[in-house]
């Protein structure tokens, strides 16, 4: 009986080991073995950031991957898939926080065997994932997060890239827009979500205003809780200080609620609103936002994207699929995918050869590639961070159609700190070396 | 002076909104002893239902604007009634008599299920029903301009509070409910159909939650997650006032509303802290809340 038990145990252990080995081999089958290039796409599919950011981004990824696999993009992106290999996209939810995203990232790389990862709206997620990308040697593009710390804390990054812009550019660009269009404003105010995004945005804006609008003063600042939704007291506090400009880095439902309530109460008639993320809700304001409200798109994205063949094509397919124009998160996702394709096809590989992470990194580092937003220069962060210009303009609603008027663009060299200089230092020193057209 | 006036007005408006959100929560706890975590989802369902209905009404240009106010209330009544009956009959009825902590976990699970159900039904894109908010215009008080819709919420909130008080204190159903609150077993022995009272109470609580969401919808962008945010505030208000006390919820809402408005105007850096500061202070001296009782509870 004992012998039988021992034998059974041996069989059991052997069986489990064999199953584990088989499972390991199965999960270890790389995407390259089925001839496809597998991309992990990470963005918010649930929670408050899904509507304004995640869903437009995921939609952009879907239409772009589908068109790439059919070879339907304009040149130079008309080769099928990635270097001739069909793309397989694995789209996962970014919700759940940084710790969960690190687990999800490991799962994508180690179990799902993706060849590259594109993702992350949240700066916290970007910062958490960046060292893991280096550890796992996986080519990764941060497409939207804006933290200035990404390539400060990961200055020796080899596999981590960002094709979107640093958040400091948003607020330097916003102040430059005020200086160019409203140089006489003196009474500035702000309302920001009370977390690092809002606090950093306000710090950059006020520091830049001190240099570029030296006559101005901050008359009121408010930091309500994120997702608060009700801003009655904050709007009153701002109103009684009679500001000329109300700056806000609000996004999503918070931003839409703020505009709705502030407009109904006359704050946005008495003062000009300046929303750094305002373009994302261009289609939803309708007559509830006043004409003349200043909006941005965190770069030359969405409605600010220039007219070029790629952008015209992208807007066409996106509109055909979703009956909407792409907003800035959608453009940024398209830009990241095009950056990946450019990197792969610049690696000098044979047709349909799947590039390695090292080849992809070499292909994108310091590169200059055409995109839906114009030419992208990977000119900062040691060749890992995109540098582009930024545009701001005024919201205009007429005959049931929203548009942007009085748009002003600033070059990348005008709003981006030089290599190796932090945004805070560059602003404090008075923007040395800035080249503004 | 303007700031003081602003504090009083902003505080009253915020307090009326808080009371609307918290009333259903405290009614359900008072009668059923269920700390209903899913109350935020009822708020969100009311907001989505109202935004969908009012949005549809205006997009189709069907009729005058004043009908949209009836639609807001109607959407909340129908949504609250349907959701309340389904949840009470289909789930909670099977759980009565269990430990209060277990009921918290059950209603938390319900909240997660309802949050995902709302995403399936309404998706993740924002819904708007701004017309009722902007149609009422605004009133100017010196430098301060106040939305008439927001001001009207103070009146609506007072009416709802009075109706609830009247229902409990001046009707036969209210007397029976109070009997159930004071001693469920004796009430059963006296022939009270406690299960029916539970159903009525839960549906009233659900409708109140949905009504709060529906009346808030015109002023906000209705997006996933709005229910989660309000449940924390609602809990703070009912804990300050005393769990199960309608009067306590009203006083708690007023205390929180005025404190928060004062912080926003005079010390914005304390705005996040002030709600929980007030709660901590009250609980330090009265752990059962301002109007809470340890033995016999009253709503």
The DSSP element (H or E) to which B200 belongs, if any, is helix B194-216
Q: What's the pLDDT tens digit per position in A241-278?
A: 999 999 999 998 899 999 999 999 999 999 999 999 99
Residue from A45, A49, A227, A232 whose CB has the most chain B CBs within 10 Å, to mutate: A232
Mean pLDDT of A71-76: 93
3-class DSSP string for A374-436: EEEEEEECCCCEEECCEEEEEEEEECCEEEEEEEEEECHHHHCCCCCCCHHHHHHCCCCCCCC
Report the alpha-carbon distance of residue A341 to residue A335 in Å, rounded: 10
* pLDDT > 60? residue A105: yes
Strand partners, A191: A222
Taking a C-beta distance cutoff of 8 angstroms, is the pair B80, B210 a contact?
yes
- The CATH 3.40.50.2300 portion of chain A extends over 35-165+305-387, 168-297+399-428
CB B183 within 8 A of CB B194: no
- pLDDT band of B244, cuts 50, 70, 90: confident
Contact A268/B at CB under 8 A: no
Taking the CA atoms of B106, B112, B118 and B120 in sequence, report the sign of the dihedral they define: negative
pLDDT, residue A51, reads 84
pLDDT at A282 over 70: yes
Whole-number mean pLDDT of chain A?
A: 91
The closest of B202, B177, B204 to B93, measured between CA atoms, is: B202
Taking residues A382-394, what's their average pLDDT? 96
Q: Which CATH number fits domain A35-165+305-387: 3.30.565.10, 3.40.50.2300, 2.40.128.690, 3.40.50.720?
A: 3.40.50.2300
Q: How close is the nearest chain B Cα to the Cα of A301, in Å?
A: 20
We report the CATH number of the domain holding residue B222 as 1.10.3470
Q: Decide if pLDDT at A4 tops 50.
A: no
* Residue A46 touches chain B, beta carbons under 8 Å: yes
Among B130, B226, B272, the residue with its CB nearest the CB of A288 is: B130
Measured distance CA(B292)–CA(B239) in Å, rounded: 9
- Among B114, B220, B273, the residue to mutate for chain A (most A Cβ within 10 A): B220
Q: How far apart are CA B226 and CA B126, in angstroms?
A: 11
* Residues 6 or more apart in contact with residue A308 via CB below 8 angstroms: A370, A372, A374
For a pLDDT cut of 70, what percent of chain B falls above it?
A: 97
Q: Are B284 and B61 in contact (CB under 8 A)?
A: no
Contacts of A242 in chain B (CB under 8 A): 143
Best of A49, A189, A264 to disrupt the B interface by mutation (most B CBs within 10 Å)? A264
Write out pLDDT tens, residues B93-120: 898 878 889 999 999 999 999 998 998 9
Of B153, B154, B264, B267, which to mutate for an interface test with A (greatest number of A Cβ within 10 Å)? Answer: B264
Each residue's pLDDT tens digit, B116-146: 899 899 988 889 889 999 999 999 987 789 9
State whether the Cα torsion A317-A321-A326-A330 is positive or negative. negative
pLDDT tens column, B168-183: 888 998 888 888 888 8
Q: A291 and A396 in contact (C-beta within 8 Å)?
A: yes
Q: Has residue A27 got a pLDDT over 60? A: no
Least confident of A19-28, A38-47, A110-119, A294-303: A19-28
Chain B's closest residue to A269, CA to CA, is B145
Does residue B296 form part of some domain?
no
Contact residues, chain B, for A322 at CB < 8 Å: none
Is a pLDDT exceeding 80 seen at residue A201? yes
- Of the two residues A57 and A348, the one the predictor is more confident about is A57
Number of domains in chain B: 1
How would residue A65 be classed by pLDDT, with cut points 50, 70 and 90? very high
CA distance A219 to A267: 14
A273 closest CA partner among A296, A252, A247: A247
As for the ipTM of the complex, it is 0.87
Please, what is the angle between helix B172-182 and helix B148-170, to 10°? 80
Helix (H) or strand (E) holding A256: helix A252-264
Q: In whole angstroms, give the CA distance from residue A39 to residue A62.
A: 12
Over range A147-161, report the average pLDDT: 92
Containing structural domain, residue B128: 2-285
Q: What is the pTM of this model?
A: 0.86
Give the ranges where A194-274 is alpha helix by DSSP (H).
Answer: 196-212, 232-240, 252-264, 267-270
- Residue B101: count other Cβ atoms within 10 Å of its Cβ: 9
Q: Please state, in angstroms and rounded to a whole number, the distance separating the CA atoms of residues A331 and B12.
A: 43
Q: At what angle do helices B39-59 and B194-216 cross, to 10 degrees?
A: 50
Name which residue leads in pLDDT, A166 or A26: A166
CB A283 within 8 Å of CB A324: yes
Among A412, A415, A396, CA closest to A404: A396
pLDDT at site B100 = 85
Judged by a CB distance cut-off of 8 A, whether residue B280 touches chain A is no
Is the bond preceding residue A229 a cis peptide, omega within 30 degrees? Answer: no
Compute the nearest-CA separation of A35 from chain B (Å).
Answer: 35
Question: pLDDT per residue over B10-36, tens digit each?
Answer: 999 999 999 999 999 999 988 888 889
- Tokens representing B179 are 């009997």
Secondary structure letter of residue A85 according to DSSP: B
If one looks up domain A168-297+399-428 in CATH, what number appears? Answer: 3.40.50.2300
pLDDT at B1 over 80: no
Q: Say if residue A14's pLDDT is above 50.
A: no
Picking from B230, B208, B215, B223, the residue whose alpha carbon sits closest to that of residue B54 is: B215
Which residue does chain A place closest to B122, by CA atoms?
A: A51
Beta carbons of B145 and A224 less than 8 Å apart:
no
Contact A284 B223 (CB under 8 A): no
Give Cβ neighbours of residue B29 (< 8 Å, ≥ 6 apart).
B35, B36, B238, B243, B244
Q: What angle do CA A215, A219, A224 make, to 5 degrees?
A: 135
Quote the tokens at residue A81: 């898939």
Judged on CB neighbours under 10 Å (0-12, 13-18, 19+), A316 is exposed
B chain contacts of residue A256, beta-carbon cutoff 8 Å: 126, 128, 220-221
**A-B C-beta contacts closer than 8 Å:** 130
Evaluate if residue B255 carries a pLDDT over 70.
yes
Tell me which residue in B14, B124, B149 faces A233 most closely, judged by beta carbons.
B14
Contact A264 B149 (CB under 8 A): yes
Residue A55 with chain B: CB contacts under 8 Å: 124-125
Query: What are the start-end ranges of the H helices in B123-147?
Result: 131-135
Q: Rounded to whole angstroms, how far apart are CA atoms A220 and A231?
A: 15
Q: How far apart are CA A301 and CA A128, in angstroms?
A: 26
Cβ of residue B271 closer than 8 Å to a chain A Cβ: yes
């Amino acid at each position: 009986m004992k012998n039988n038990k021992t034998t059974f145990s041996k069989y059991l252990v052997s069986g489990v080991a064999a199953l584990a080995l088989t499972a390991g081999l199965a999960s270890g089958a790389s995407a390259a073995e089925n001839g496809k290039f597998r991309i992990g796409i990470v963005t918010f599919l649930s929670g408050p950031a899904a509507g304004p950011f995640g869903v437009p981004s995921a939609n952009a990824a879907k239409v772009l991957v589908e068109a790439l696999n059919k070879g339907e993009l304009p040149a130079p992106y008309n080769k099928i898939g990635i270097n001739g290999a069909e793309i397989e996209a694995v789209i996962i939810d970014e919700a759940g926080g940084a710790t969960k995203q690190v687990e999800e990232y490991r799962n994508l790389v180690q179990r799902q065997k993706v060849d590259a990862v594109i993702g992350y709206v949240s700066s916290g997620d970007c910062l958490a994932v960046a060292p893991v990308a280096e550890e796992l040697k996986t080519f990764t593009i941060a497409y939207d997060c804006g933290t200035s710390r990404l390539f400060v804390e990961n200055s020796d990054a080899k596999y981590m890239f960002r094709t979107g812009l640093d958040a400091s550019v948003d607020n330097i660009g916003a102040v430059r827009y005020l200086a160019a269009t409203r140089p006489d404003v003196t009474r500035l105010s702000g309302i920001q979500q009370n977390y690092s995004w809002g606090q950093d945005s306000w710090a950059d804006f006020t520091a830049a205003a001190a240099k570029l609008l030296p006559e101005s003063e901050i008359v009121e600042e408010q930091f309500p809780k994120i997702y608060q939704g009700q801003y009655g007291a904050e709007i009153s506090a701002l109103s009684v200080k009679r500001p000329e400009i109300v700056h806000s880095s609000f996004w999503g439902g918070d931003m839409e609620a703020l505009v709705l309530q502030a407009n109904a109460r006359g704050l946005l008639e008495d003062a000009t609103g300046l929303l750094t993320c305002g373009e994302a809700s261009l289609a939803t304001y309708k007559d509830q936002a006043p004409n003349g409200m200043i909006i941005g798109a965190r770069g030359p994205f969405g409605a600010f994207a220039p007219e070029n063949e790629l952008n015209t094509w992208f807007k066409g397919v996106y509109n055909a699929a979703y009956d909407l124009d792409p907003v800035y998160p959608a453009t940024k996702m398209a830009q990241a995918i095009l950056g990946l394709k450019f990197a792969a096809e610049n690696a000098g590989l044979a047709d349909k050869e799947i590039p390695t992470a090292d080849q992809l990194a070499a292909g994108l580092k310091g590169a200059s590639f055409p995109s839906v937003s114009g030419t992208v220069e990977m000119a900062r962060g040691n060749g890992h961070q995109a540098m582009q210009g930024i545009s701001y303009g005024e919201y205009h609603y007429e005959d049931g159609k929203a548009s942007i008027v009085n748009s002003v663009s600033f070059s990348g060299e005008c709003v981006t700190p030089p290599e190796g200089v932090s945004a805070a230092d560059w602003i404090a020193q008075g923007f040395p070396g800035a080249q503004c057209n | 002076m303007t700031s003081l006036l602003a504090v009083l007005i902003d505080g009253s408006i915020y307090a009326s909104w808080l009371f609307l959100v918290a009333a259903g929560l405290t009614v359900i706890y008072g009668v059923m002893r269920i700390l209903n975590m899913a109350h935020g989802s009822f708020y969100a369902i009311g907001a989505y239902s109202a935004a969908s209905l009012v949005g549809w009404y205006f997009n189709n240009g069907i009729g005058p604007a004043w009908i949209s106010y009836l639609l807001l209330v109607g959407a909340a009544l129908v949504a609250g009634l349907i959701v309340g009956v389904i949840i009470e009959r289909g789930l909670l009825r099977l759980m009565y008599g269990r430990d209060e902590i277990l009921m918290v976990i059950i209603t938390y699970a319900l909240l997660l299920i309802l949050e995902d159900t709302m995403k399936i039904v309404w998706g993740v894109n924002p819904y708007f029903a701004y017309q009722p908010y902007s149609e009422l215009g605004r009133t100017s008080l010196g430098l301060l301009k106040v939305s008439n819709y927001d001001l009207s919420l103070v009146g609506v909130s007072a009416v709802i509070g009075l109706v609830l008080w009247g229902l409990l204190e001046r009707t036969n159903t209210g007397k029976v409910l109070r009997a159930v609150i004071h001693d469920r077993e004796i009430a059963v022995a006296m022939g009270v159909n406690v299960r029916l009272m539970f159903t009525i109470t839960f549906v009233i609580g659900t409708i109140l939650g949905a009504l709060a969401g529906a009346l808030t919808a015109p002023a906000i962008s209705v997006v996933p997650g709005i229910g989660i945010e309000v449940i924390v505030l609602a809990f703070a208000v009912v804990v300050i006032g005393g769990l199960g006390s309608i009067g306590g919820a009203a006083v708690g809402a007023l205390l929180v509303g005025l404190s928060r408005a004062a912080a926003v105007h005079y010390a914005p850096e304390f705005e996040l802290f002030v709600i929980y500061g007030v709660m901590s202070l009250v609980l330090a001296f009265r752990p059962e809340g301002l109007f809470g009782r340890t033995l016999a509870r009253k709503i």
